[in-house]
Amino acid sequence: MKAITNGSVYTPDQVLAPGTVLIEEGRITSVGSADTVTVPPEAEVIDAEGRAVVPGFIDVHMHGLMGHDAMGPGLAHVIRDLPAFGVTAFLGTTLTLPHDETLAGLEAMVKVLDAPPPGAQCLGIHLEGPFLSPTRPGMATSDWFEPLAWEDFQTFQQAATGCIRMLTFAPEVNGAMACIPRLIEAGVVPVIGHSDATFEQVAEAVQLGLSHATHTFNAMRPLHHREPGVVGAVMYFDEIVAELIADGVHVHPAVMAILLRVKGVERVALVSDAAPLAGLPDGKYEWEHKPVFVRDGSCRLADGTIAGAHALLDSGVRNLVNLVGLPLEQALVPATRVPADVLGLRKGRLAPGYDADIVLLDSELRPALTLVGSKIAFDRDLEQK
Protein backbone atom coordinates (compact mmCIF):
# COMPACT_ATOMS: atom_id res chain seq x y z
CA MET A 1 0.00 0.00 0.00
CA LYS A 2 1.06 3.58 -0.75
CA ALA A 3 -0.20 6.86 0.63
CA ILE A 4 0.29 10.30 -0.90
CA THR A 5 0.00 12.95 1.80
CA ASN A 6 0.48 16.68 2.34
CA GLY A 7 -0.54 17.78 -1.16
CA SER A 8 -3.32 19.68 -2.89
CA VAL A 9 -5.36 16.78 -4.26
CA TYR A 10 -7.39 17.52 -7.40
CA THR A 11 -10.45 15.28 -7.24
CA PRO A 12 -13.24 15.41 -9.87
CA ASP A 13 -15.29 17.68 -7.63
CA GLN A 14 -12.94 19.71 -5.44
CA VAL A 15 -9.39 20.49 -4.42
CA LEU A 16 -8.44 19.01 -1.05
CA ALA A 17 -5.62 20.94 0.58
CA PRO A 18 -4.10 19.15 2.31
CA GLY A 19 -5.44 15.88 0.99
CA THR A 20 -4.53 12.21 1.14
CA VAL A 21 -4.67 9.46 -1.50
CA LEU A 22 -4.44 5.79 -0.58
CA ILE A 23 -3.36 3.25 -3.20
CA GLU A 24 -3.37 -0.53 -3.22
CA GLU A 25 -2.61 -3.01 -6.00
CA GLY A 26 -2.48 -0.31 -8.66
CA ARG A 27 -5.85 1.25 -7.80
CA ILE A 28 -6.92 4.23 -5.73
CA THR A 29 -8.77 3.01 -2.65
CA SER A 30 -9.48 6.26 -0.81
CA VAL A 31 -9.28 10.01 -1.39
CA GLY A 32 -10.09 12.67 1.16
CA SER A 33 -8.91 15.54 3.28
CA ALA A 34 -6.03 14.89 5.64
CA ASP A 35 -8.32 14.86 8.67
CA THR A 36 -10.75 12.30 7.21
CA VAL A 37 -8.39 9.65 5.74
CA THR A 38 -6.27 7.57 8.08
CA VAL A 39 -2.94 6.38 6.71
CA PRO A 40 -2.30 2.75 7.73
CA PRO A 41 0.99 2.31 9.60
CA GLU A 42 2.28 -0.19 7.02
CA ALA A 43 1.77 2.19 4.08
CA GLU A 44 4.70 3.57 2.11
CA VAL A 45 4.22 7.33 2.43
CA ILE A 46 4.98 9.78 -0.37
CA ASP A 47 5.11 13.31 1.01
CA ALA A 48 3.84 15.65 -1.70
CA GLU A 49 5.38 18.61 0.14
CA GLY A 50 2.52 20.92 -0.81
CA ARG A 51 2.60 20.08 -4.51
CA ALA A 52 -0.48 19.58 -6.69
CA VAL A 53 -1.54 15.92 -6.81
CA VAL A 54 -3.33 15.37 -10.13
CA PRO A 55 -4.43 12.51 -12.41
CA GLY A 56 -1.85 11.33 -14.93
CA PHE A 57 -2.08 12.91 -18.38
CA ILE A 58 -3.45 10.81 -21.26
CA ASP A 59 -2.26 11.64 -24.77
CA VAL A 60 -4.31 9.99 -27.53
CA HIS A 61 -2.36 11.65 -30.36
CA MET A 62 1.43 11.66 -30.17
CA HIS A 63 4.11 10.50 -32.60
CA GLY A 64 7.22 10.37 -30.44
CA LEU A 65 9.81 12.44 -28.59
CA MET A 66 13.51 12.92 -27.99
CA GLY A 67 14.43 11.44 -31.38
CA HIS A 68 12.27 8.33 -30.97
CA ASP A 69 9.40 7.56 -33.36
CA ALA A 70 6.39 5.80 -31.85
CA MET A 71 5.73 4.18 -35.24
CA GLY A 72 8.27 1.39 -34.86
CA PRO A 73 10.72 -0.03 -32.33
CA GLY A 74 11.26 3.49 -30.98
CA LEU A 75 7.93 3.04 -29.21
CA ALA A 76 9.84 1.38 -26.36
CA HIS A 77 11.82 4.58 -25.76
CA VAL A 78 8.64 6.65 -25.96
CA ILE A 79 7.07 4.50 -23.23
CA ARG A 80 10.11 5.04 -20.99
CA ASP A 81 10.42 8.79 -21.60
CA LEU A 82 6.81 10.01 -21.33
CA PRO A 83 6.41 9.87 -17.52
CA ALA A 84 8.93 12.72 -17.22
CA PHE A 85 6.28 14.87 -18.90
CA GLY A 86 3.43 13.69 -16.67
CA VAL A 87 2.02 11.33 -19.31
CA THR A 88 0.92 8.04 -17.79
CA ALA A 89 -1.04 6.61 -20.75
CA PHE A 90 -1.10 7.26 -24.49
CA LEU A 91 -1.82 5.99 -27.97
CA GLY A 92 1.21 5.56 -30.21
CA THR A 93 0.25 7.46 -33.34
CA THR A 94 1.34 6.62 -36.88
CA LEU A 95 2.10 8.88 -39.82
CA THR A 96 1.31 8.33 -43.48
CA LEU A 97 4.03 6.27 -45.16
CA PRO A 98 4.01 3.96 -48.20
CA HIS A 99 1.69 1.00 -47.65
CA ASP A 100 4.39 -1.59 -46.97
CA GLU A 101 6.24 0.73 -44.59
CA THR A 102 3.04 1.36 -42.68
CA LEU A 103 2.47 -2.37 -42.25
CA ALA A 104 6.07 -2.83 -41.11
CA GLY A 105 5.73 0.04 -38.66
CA LEU A 106 2.57 -1.47 -37.16
CA GLU A 107 4.22 -4.86 -36.80
CA ALA A 108 7.21 -3.30 -35.03
CA MET A 109 4.88 -1.43 -32.65
CA VAL A 110 3.10 -4.68 -31.78
CA LYS A 111 6.39 -6.35 -30.86
CA VAL A 112 6.97 -3.60 -28.31
CA LEU A 113 3.40 -3.83 -27.02
CA ASP A 114 3.76 -7.59 -26.53
CA ALA A 115 6.47 -6.94 -23.90
CA PRO A 116 6.45 -3.23 -23.02
CA PRO A 117 9.17 -1.74 -20.84
CA PRO A 118 8.38 0.14 -17.62
CA GLY A 119 6.96 3.60 -18.17
CA ALA A 120 3.75 5.08 -19.51
CA GLN A 121 1.04 2.63 -20.50
CA CYS A 122 0.65 2.43 -24.26
CA LEU A 123 -3.06 1.84 -24.70
CA GLY A 124 -2.77 0.89 -28.36
CA ILE A 125 -2.37 2.59 -31.72
CA HIS A 126 -3.92 5.69 -33.27
CA LEU A 127 -3.75 5.25 -37.05
CA GLU A 128 -3.50 8.72 -38.61
CA GLY A 129 -3.66 8.11 -42.33
CA PRO A 130 -3.30 6.97 -45.01
CA PHE A 131 -7.06 7.52 -45.47
CA LEU A 132 -6.85 11.32 -45.69
CA SER A 133 -7.95 14.08 -48.07
CA PRO A 134 -5.30 15.27 -50.54
CA THR A 135 -6.86 18.72 -50.17
CA ARG A 136 -5.86 18.86 -46.48
CA PRO A 137 -2.63 16.85 -46.24
CA GLY A 138 -0.83 18.93 -43.63
CA MET A 139 2.75 17.64 -43.62
CA ALA A 140 1.69 14.21 -44.92
CA THR A 141 2.66 13.09 -48.42
CA SER A 142 -0.56 12.84 -50.44
CA ASP A 143 1.06 10.45 -52.94
CA TRP A 144 0.80 7.80 -50.21
CA PHE A 145 -2.87 8.40 -49.39
CA GLU A 146 -5.40 5.63 -49.99
CA PRO A 147 -9.21 5.66 -50.11
CA LEU A 148 -10.70 3.99 -47.04
CA ALA A 149 -12.44 0.71 -47.62
CA TRP A 150 -13.25 -1.74 -44.85
CA GLU A 151 -10.97 -4.42 -46.30
CA ASP A 152 -8.03 -1.98 -46.33
CA PHE A 153 -8.54 -1.07 -42.70
CA GLN A 154 -8.72 -4.76 -41.78
CA THR A 155 -5.34 -5.29 -43.43
CA PHE A 156 -3.80 -2.67 -41.15
CA GLN A 157 -5.67 -3.96 -38.09
CA GLN A 158 -4.44 -7.48 -38.79
CA ALA A 159 -0.85 -6.23 -38.94
CA ALA A 160 -1.50 -4.44 -35.65
CA THR A 161 -3.05 -7.63 -34.15
CA GLY A 162 -6.13 -5.64 -33.18
CA CYS A 163 -4.24 -2.87 -31.37
CA ILE A 164 -5.62 0.04 -33.44
CA ARG A 165 -7.95 1.95 -31.08
CA MET A 166 -8.49 5.15 -33.09
CA LEU A 167 -8.54 5.90 -36.82
CA THR A 168 -8.19 9.40 -38.25
CA PHE A 169 -9.64 9.65 -41.77
CA ALA A 170 -11.49 11.95 -44.16
CA PRO A 171 -15.07 10.61 -44.23
CA GLU A 172 -16.00 12.48 -47.40
CA VAL A 173 -13.46 10.64 -49.57
CA ASN A 174 -14.58 7.68 -51.69
CA GLY A 175 -17.49 6.55 -49.53
CA ALA A 176 -15.39 6.24 -46.38
CA MET A 177 -18.45 7.41 -44.44
CA ALA A 178 -19.91 3.89 -44.62
CA CYS A 179 -17.08 2.55 -42.44
CA ILE A 180 -18.08 4.57 -39.38
CA PRO A 181 -20.64 2.11 -37.94
CA ARG A 182 -18.31 -0.83 -38.61
CA LEU A 183 -15.41 0.89 -36.85
CA ILE A 184 -17.57 1.57 -33.81
CA GLU A 185 -18.80 -2.03 -33.78
CA ALA A 186 -15.16 -3.17 -33.87
CA GLY A 187 -14.28 -0.99 -30.87
CA VAL A 188 -12.32 1.58 -32.88
CA VAL A 189 -12.99 5.30 -32.40
CA PRO A 190 -13.61 6.95 -35.81
CA VAL A 191 -11.93 10.35 -35.96
CA ILE A 192 -12.42 13.06 -38.57
CA GLY A 193 -9.17 14.70 -39.59
CA HIS A 194 -7.18 15.93 -42.59
CA SER A 195 -10.62 16.47 -44.07
CA ASP A 196 -12.18 18.88 -46.55
CA ALA A 197 -15.72 17.79 -45.71
CA THR A 198 -18.60 20.24 -45.85
CA PHE A 199 -20.74 20.95 -42.80
CA GLU A 200 -23.47 18.73 -44.23
CA GLN A 201 -21.06 15.85 -44.77
CA VAL A 202 -19.88 16.08 -41.16
CA ALA A 203 -23.50 16.17 -40.03
CA GLU A 204 -24.07 12.91 -41.92
CA ALA A 205 -21.00 11.39 -40.26
CA VAL A 206 -22.27 12.42 -36.82
CA GLN A 207 -25.57 10.69 -37.57
CA LEU A 208 -23.57 7.53 -38.25
CA GLY A 209 -21.72 7.82 -34.94
CA LEU A 210 -18.71 10.10 -35.50
CA SER A 211 -17.74 11.64 -32.17
CA HIS A 212 -14.09 12.76 -32.33
CA ALA A 213 -11.97 15.20 -34.34
CA THR A 214 -8.19 15.25 -34.84
CA HIS A 215 -6.18 18.41 -33.97
CA THR A 216 -9.04 20.87 -34.43
CA PHE A 217 -8.40 23.81 -36.80
CA ASN A 218 -5.33 22.13 -38.33
CA ALA A 219 -5.62 20.29 -41.68
CA MET A 220 -9.40 20.67 -41.92
CA ARG A 221 -11.83 22.84 -43.88
CA PRO A 222 -12.02 26.10 -41.90
CA LEU A 223 -15.04 27.97 -40.58
CA HIS A 224 -16.74 30.29 -43.04
CA HIS A 225 -20.00 32.12 -42.39
CA ARG A 226 -21.64 30.61 -45.49
CA GLU A 227 -19.97 27.17 -45.26
CA PRO A 228 -19.15 26.24 -41.64
CA GLY A 229 -16.91 23.42 -42.84
CA VAL A 230 -15.31 20.86 -40.54
CA VAL A 231 -14.27 23.45 -37.96
CA GLY A 232 -17.80 24.83 -37.74
CA ALA A 233 -19.24 21.34 -37.43
CA VAL A 234 -16.79 20.36 -34.70
CA MET A 235 -17.84 23.39 -32.67
CA TYR A 236 -21.54 22.97 -33.49
CA PHE A 237 -22.10 19.31 -32.70
CA ASP A 238 -21.99 18.46 -29.00
CA GLU A 239 -21.39 14.83 -29.95
CA ILE A 240 -17.87 15.63 -31.20
CA VAL A 241 -14.92 15.71 -28.83
CA ALA A 242 -12.42 18.19 -30.28
CA GLU A 243 -8.71 17.47 -30.00
CA LEU A 244 -6.66 20.59 -29.27
CA ILE A 245 -2.91 21.09 -29.61
CA ALA A 246 -2.20 23.76 -27.00
CA ASP A 247 1.48 24.32 -27.75
CA GLY A 248 0.92 27.98 -28.67
CA VAL A 249 2.11 27.28 -32.23
CA HIS A 250 -0.67 25.24 -33.85
CA VAL A 251 -3.52 27.36 -32.47
CA HIS A 252 -3.53 30.98 -31.26
CA PRO A 253 -4.37 31.28 -27.53
CA ALA A 254 -7.46 33.37 -28.34
CA VAL A 255 -8.74 30.61 -30.63
CA MET A 256 -8.02 28.01 -27.94
CA ALA A 257 -10.18 30.09 -25.61
CA ILE A 258 -12.96 30.34 -28.19
CA LEU A 259 -13.02 26.56 -28.66
CA LEU A 260 -13.10 25.96 -24.91
CA ARG A 261 -15.90 28.47 -24.43
CA VAL A 262 -17.98 26.91 -27.19
CA LYS A 263 -17.35 23.24 -26.37
CA GLY A 264 -16.58 23.41 -22.65
CA VAL A 265 -13.64 21.59 -21.08
CA GLU A 266 -15.64 18.34 -21.00
CA ARG A 267 -15.74 18.14 -24.84
CA VAL A 268 -12.12 19.04 -25.62
CA ALA A 269 -9.28 16.50 -25.52
CA LEU A 270 -5.84 18.00 -25.11
CA VAL A 271 -3.25 16.28 -27.31
CA SER A 272 0.40 16.99 -27.97
CA ASP A 273 0.74 15.74 -31.58
CA ALA A 274 4.38 15.58 -30.52
CA ALA A 275 6.79 14.76 -33.32
CA PRO A 276 9.70 12.39 -32.72
CA LEU A 277 11.70 15.63 -32.65
CA ALA A 278 9.86 16.92 -29.59
CA GLY A 279 12.25 18.00 -26.90
CA LEU A 280 15.32 18.07 -29.18
CA PRO A 281 17.47 21.20 -29.62
CA ASP A 282 17.18 23.48 -32.62
CA GLY A 283 18.54 21.99 -35.81
CA LYS A 284 17.80 20.11 -39.02
CA TYR A 285 16.41 16.58 -38.74
CA GLU A 286 14.49 14.06 -40.88
CA TRP A 287 10.99 12.69 -40.39
CA GLU A 288 8.71 10.94 -42.89
CA HIS A 289 11.59 11.00 -45.42
CA LYS A 290 11.56 14.82 -45.27
CA PRO A 291 13.89 17.42 -43.75
CA VAL A 292 12.30 18.99 -40.67
CA PHE A 293 13.64 22.09 -38.95
CA VAL A 294 13.32 22.56 -35.20
CA ARG A 295 13.43 26.24 -34.39
CA ASP A 296 11.91 28.50 -31.73
CA GLY A 297 9.77 25.77 -30.20
CA SER A 298 8.28 24.45 -33.44
CA CYS A 299 8.90 21.70 -36.02
CA ARG A 300 8.47 22.78 -39.64
CA LEU A 301 9.14 21.63 -43.18
CA ALA A 302 11.32 23.77 -45.43
CA ASP A 303 8.23 25.60 -46.75
CA GLY A 304 7.07 26.49 -43.23
CA THR A 305 4.40 23.78 -42.90
CA ILE A 306 4.08 22.67 -39.28
CA ALA A 307 5.39 19.12 -38.86
CA GLY A 308 4.00 17.92 -35.54
CA ALA A 309 4.66 19.60 -32.22
CA HIS A 310 7.85 20.25 -30.29
CA ALA A 311 6.06 20.33 -26.91
CA LEU A 312 4.62 17.52 -24.81
CA LEU A 313 1.26 17.34 -23.06
CA ASP A 314 2.45 18.95 -19.81
CA SER A 315 3.22 22.10 -21.79
CA GLY A 316 -0.34 22.08 -23.08
CA VAL A 317 -1.73 21.99 -19.55
CA ARG A 318 0.52 24.87 -18.51
CA ASN A 319 -0.54 26.85 -21.57
CA LEU A 320 -4.22 26.41 -20.78
CA VAL A 321 -3.44 27.97 -17.41
CA ASN A 322 -0.90 30.61 -18.43
CA LEU A 323 -2.05 31.58 -21.94
CA VAL A 324 -5.78 30.90 -21.82
CA GLY A 325 -6.35 31.68 -18.16
CA LEU A 326 -8.08 28.50 -17.01
CA PRO A 327 -7.75 27.50 -13.36
CA LEU A 328 -5.73 24.31 -13.00
CA GLU A 329 -8.75 22.23 -12.02
CA GLN A 330 -10.35 23.06 -15.39
CA ALA A 331 -7.13 22.80 -17.42
CA LEU A 332 -6.67 19.23 -16.18
CA VAL A 333 -9.99 17.96 -17.51
CA PRO A 334 -9.08 17.90 -21.25
CA ALA A 335 -5.76 16.19 -20.45
CA THR A 336 -7.16 13.52 -18.13
CA ARG A 337 -10.88 12.91 -17.78
CA VAL A 338 -11.90 13.54 -21.41
CA PRO A 339 -9.42 11.20 -23.15
CA ALA A 340 -10.11 8.53 -20.52
CA ASP A 341 -13.82 8.73 -21.26
CA VAL A 342 -13.23 8.67 -25.03
CA LEU A 343 -11.46 5.32 -24.66
CA GLY A 344 -13.71 4.00 -21.89
CA LEU A 345 -10.96 3.79 -19.26
CA ARG A 346 -10.98 3.79 -15.46
CA LYS A 347 -8.38 6.51 -15.56
CA GLY A 348 -8.24 10.30 -15.51
CA ARG A 349 -9.76 10.86 -12.06
CA LEU A 350 -8.47 10.77 -8.50
CA ALA A 351 -11.32 8.73 -7.09
CA PRO A 352 -11.72 5.27 -5.50
CA GLY A 353 -11.64 2.44 -8.03
CA TYR A 354 -9.63 4.35 -10.63
CA ASP A 355 -6.12 3.42 -11.77
CA ALA A 356 -3.39 4.93 -9.62
CA ASP A 357 -1.88 7.00 -12.43
CA ILE A 358 -0.86 10.13 -10.56
CA VAL A 359 1.42 13.13 -11.08
CA LEU A 360 2.84 15.58 -8.57
CA LEU A 361 3.22 19.05 -10.11
CA ASP A 362 5.47 21.74 -8.67
CA SER A 363 4.57 25.43 -8.35
CA GLU A 364 5.38 25.95 -12.06
CA LEU A 365 3.11 23.00 -13.00
CA ARG A 366 6.06 20.84 -14.03
CA PRO A 367 6.05 17.13 -13.17
CA ALA A 368 8.14 16.26 -10.13
CA LEU A 369 6.94 12.68 -9.59
CA THR A 370 4.89 10.34 -11.81
CA LEU A 371 3.21 7.12 -10.76
CA VAL A 372 1.85 4.64 -13.30
CA GLY A 373 -0.38 2.01 -11.74
CA SER A 374 1.04 3.03 -8.34
CA LYS A 375 4.66 2.39 -9.44
CA ILE A 376 7.04 5.34 -9.58
CA ALA A 377 7.89 5.87 -13.25
CA PHE A 378 9.62 9.24 -12.88
CA ASP A 379 11.22 10.99 -9.92
CA ARG A 380 12.84 14.31 -10.76
CA ASP A 381 14.89 14.32 -7.58
CA LEU A 382 16.48 11.00 -8.51
CA GLU A 383 16.98 12.09 -12.14
CA GLN A 384 18.91 15.17 -11.00
CA LYS A 385 21.29 13.26 -8.72
Tell me which residues are annotated as active site.
Answer: 273
Distance of alpha carbon 40 from the chain centroid: 36
